[in-house]
Amino acid sequence: MDRRRFLTLAASALAAPGVIGRANASPVAGQSLPIPQILDVTGSADAALEAIQGTTAFVEGGAARTMGYSQPYLGPVLRMRRGEIARPVVRNRLDSPVTAHWHGAHVPGAVDGGPQLAIASGGTWAPELEIDQPAATLWYHSHIHGQTGRQIYHGLAGMMIVEDPGVENPGLPSEWGVDDIPVIIQDRRFGRGGELAYDLDMPTVMHGFQGDTILVNGAVQPNASVARGLVRLRLLNGSNARIYTLKFEDGRGFHQIASDGGFLPAPVARDSLVLAPAERAEIVLDLSDGATARMVSLPDANSPMEGMMGGGGMMQRMMGGMDRTDPEAVTDEGAFAVLSLTPDRPAPASQALPRVLAGGPAPTTAEPVRRRRIDLQMGPMAMRGAGNPLAINGQSYDMGRIDFETRRGEVELWEVSSDMMAHPFHMHGTAFTVLSRNGRSVPFEQLGAKDILLVDGKAEILVEFRKPADRAAPYMFHCHILEHEDGGMMGQFTVA
């Protein structure tokens, strides 16, 4: 987007303040949590993933045109095993190009599903994925440059699970849909007819698109019938921009057992958990008291407007409508409901929370051979360098430009800084170790190995490049607020 278009959009937004309000359509009440099917893609015969168009009734009496992989909205949970080759076959039955990017998978650039690997309408893509990483909860989604936000918003995403047959953590809940529950959290906005609304103007692009209705696995604030005992939730923030602070309404604590890259060294006791877009966390909570537990989230405080106009300015008043995008609060502190868990099923025998967890990723400790700065820029700072309001290091994404060249097996220290608001920083092809955030060191035991890190200020990460990626299909690094990514806050690198 050039400077003139930016100014035009900004001006039109000024002329029409407060246009955003709650849709009239009301959610379909009392839905139960859909549990997506598992599609085993290691060595299996029929592992087709078809990008299709569908119709989904998210709200009472309404219908939305949606997209999904082999289903109207979202896709099956892909399961793959370490040490084996996964062979998903992706067919595109839509009328525009899509990709299937394996977010968090350590696979070469040539099969990573980035923007260069578009599958044309009618086309088929059959990558071979050599699974060579610890057990973890990942996800997959389309990654067409400029369309990623729209495509994921409409449903082109799903969860992915890497299992490690060589590792056992006895006692961990593992019965799918009973005490091992996939939880894909998204926020959406609906028009009067129940259609998905995804209208971008410049303030929305800068803020990141937020909805006023919470979906879990495609259902509005559903209820899950689960085991009366320990329950493991595989949390994935599949939202375009919203950051959740998750907790339980009754104040009950829980243990985090895994982050993006897999198991933590040991369970970490928590009362709440911040989950930025694209982040994953696995938690175990105890529901043996039989009471229904409601998971809620605090409102998202991330907003560019303070810094943009120096606070209290016209832009901020103009953006007043933005503050009303949060779903209806259910607690005094403004938290809204995400998911209810009703423990009305018998717990599988021999559940126990292990004291230590086996099979997690190890921290990267090697001396870095190089230091790089990655400045995530927006607004005036980005305009100055890139002539575009979203950029990294003074440049907006260009599919024809390689930003960094790195080498396999080398370790680099990346210093990532944010501008105007917190940005969830993501890189493809590896998982990194966080050294520090705003000058304070971060214990590996707390965060584990990450491929997404919410950067609010400065963060130092240690990156080891594990798989190759050439100029034809480089790896991406970007902000995972999808409107920022689509708008140019993305770069790409090769690994020789």
CB of 315 to ligand C2O, least distance (A): 29
What distance in Å separates the CA atoms of residue 218 and residue 280, rounded to the nearest whole number?
Answer: 17
The nearest distance, CB 481 to Cu ion, in angstroms, is 4
Give the contact letters, 257-296, x = binds to ligand C2O (CB under 6 A), - = no. Answer: ---------------------x------------------
Choosing from 255, 467, 478, 484, the residue that interacts with ligand C2O (CB under 6 A) is 478
Task: Among 184, 479, 490, 495, indicate the residue that binds Cu ion (CB under 5 A).
Answer: 479
Residue from 103, 106, 247, 255 that binds ligand C2O (CB under 6 A)?
Answer: 103
State yes or no: residue 450 binds ligand C2O (CB under 6 A).
no
Q: Which does 228 bind (CB under 5 to 8 A by kind): ligand C2O, Cu ion, none?
A: none
CB closer to ligand C2O, 73 vs 139: 139
User: What phi and psi values does residue 81 have, to the nearest 5 degrees?
Assistant: -115, 140
479 binds, options ligand C2O, Cu ion, none, Cβ within 5 to 8 A by partner type = Cu ion
Count of chain residues binding ligand C2O (CB under 6 A): 10
Straight-line distance from the first to the last Cα atom of the chain, in angstroms, rounded to the nearest whole number: 32
Sheet hosting strand 38-40, strand order edge to edge: 38-40, 77-81, 157-163, 136-141, 101-103
Radius of gyration of the chain from its Cα atoms, rounded to whole angstroms = 21
Distance between CA atoms of 455 and 438, rounded to whole angstroms?
9
Distance CA 155, CA 144 (A): 14
397 to 436: interface string for ligand C2O, x by CB under 6 A:
-----------------------------x-x--------
Angle, CA of 274, 233 and 288, to the nearest 5°: 115
Nearer residue to Cu ion within complex by CB, 103 or 437: 103
The site that binds Cu ion (CB under 5 A) totals a number of residues, namely 6
Q: Per the structure block, which two tokens stand in for 193?
A: 């007819």
Are 153 and 197 spatial neighbours (Cβ–Cβ below 8 Å)?
no
Residue 157 or 224 having the CB closest to Cu ion: 157
Q: Which residue is nearest to ligand C2O (CB)?
A: 103
Q: How far apart are CA 143 and CA 476, in angstroms?
A: 10
**Residue 478's binding partner out of Cu ion, ligand C2O, none, with CB under 5 to 8 Å set by partner kind:** ligand C2O
Say which DSSP state 213 is in.
E
154 binds, among ligand C2O, Cu ion, none (CB under 5 to 8 A by kind): none
Among 125-133, 178-186, 347-355, 476-484, the segment contacting ligand C2O (CB under 6 A): 476-484
Question: Which residue among 82, 189, 294, 423 contacts Cu ion (CB under 5 A)?
Answer: 423
Cross-sheet strand order for the sheet of 452-455: 404-406, 490-495, 475-479, 423-427, 452-455
364 vs 492 by CB, closer to ligand C2O: 492
To ligand C2O, the closest distance from the beta carbon of 307 in angstroms equals 26
- Residues 79, 91, 101, 234: which binds ligand C2O (CB under 6 A)? 101
Report the alpha-carbon angle 215-216-222, nearest 5.
Answer: 90
Report the C-alpha gap between 87 and 261 in whole angstroms.
21
371/401 with CB nearer ligand C2O: 401
The gap from C-alpha 77 to its chain's centroid, in whole angstroms, comes to 15
From CA 334, how far away is CA 391, in angstroms rounded? Answer: 33
CB of 99 to ligand C2O, least distance (A): 10
Give the residue with the Cβ less far from ligand C2O, 210 or 237: 237
Residues 131-160 that bind ligand C2O (CB under 6 A): 141, 143
Residue 219 Cβ vs ligand C2O, minimum distance, rounded to whole Å: 23
- Quote the least distance from Cβ 278 to ligand C2O, whole Å: 5
Output the residue with the shortest Cβ distance to Cu ion: 479
Q: Are strands 213-216 and 219-220 parallel, antiparallel or unpaired?
A: antiparallel
Where in 85-114 is the site for Cu ion (CB under 5 A)?
A: 103
- Per-residue contact string for residues 428-467; x = within reach of Cu ion by CB under 5 A: x---------------------------------------
Residue type, 222: P
Could you tell me which of 117, 195, 109, 204 has the C-alpha nearest to residue 494?
109
Please choose, out of 6-14, 21-29, 410-418, 472-480, the segment that lies near ligand C2O by the rule CB under 6 A.
472-480
Cβ atoms within 10 Å, residue 387 = 16
Pick from 147, 139, 157: nearest CA to 71: 157
Which strands make up the sheet holding 89-92, listed edge to edge?
64-69, 48-56, 89-92, 124-125
Q: Which does 143 bind (CB under 5 to 8 A by kind): ligand C2O, Cu ion, none?
A: ligand C2O
Q: Which is nearer to ligand C2O, 276 or 308 (CB)?
A: 276
Torsion of CA 397, 402, 408, 413, to 10 degrees: -60
244-248 and 272-275 as β-strands: parallel, antiparallel, unpaired?
A: antiparallel
Which ranges constitute the DSSP H helices of 69-201? 148-154
Residues that bind ligand C2O (CB under 6 A): 101, 103, 141, 143, 278, 426, 428, 476, 478, 480
State the residues that interact with Cu ion by CB under 5 A. Answer: 103, 423, 428, 479, 481, 484
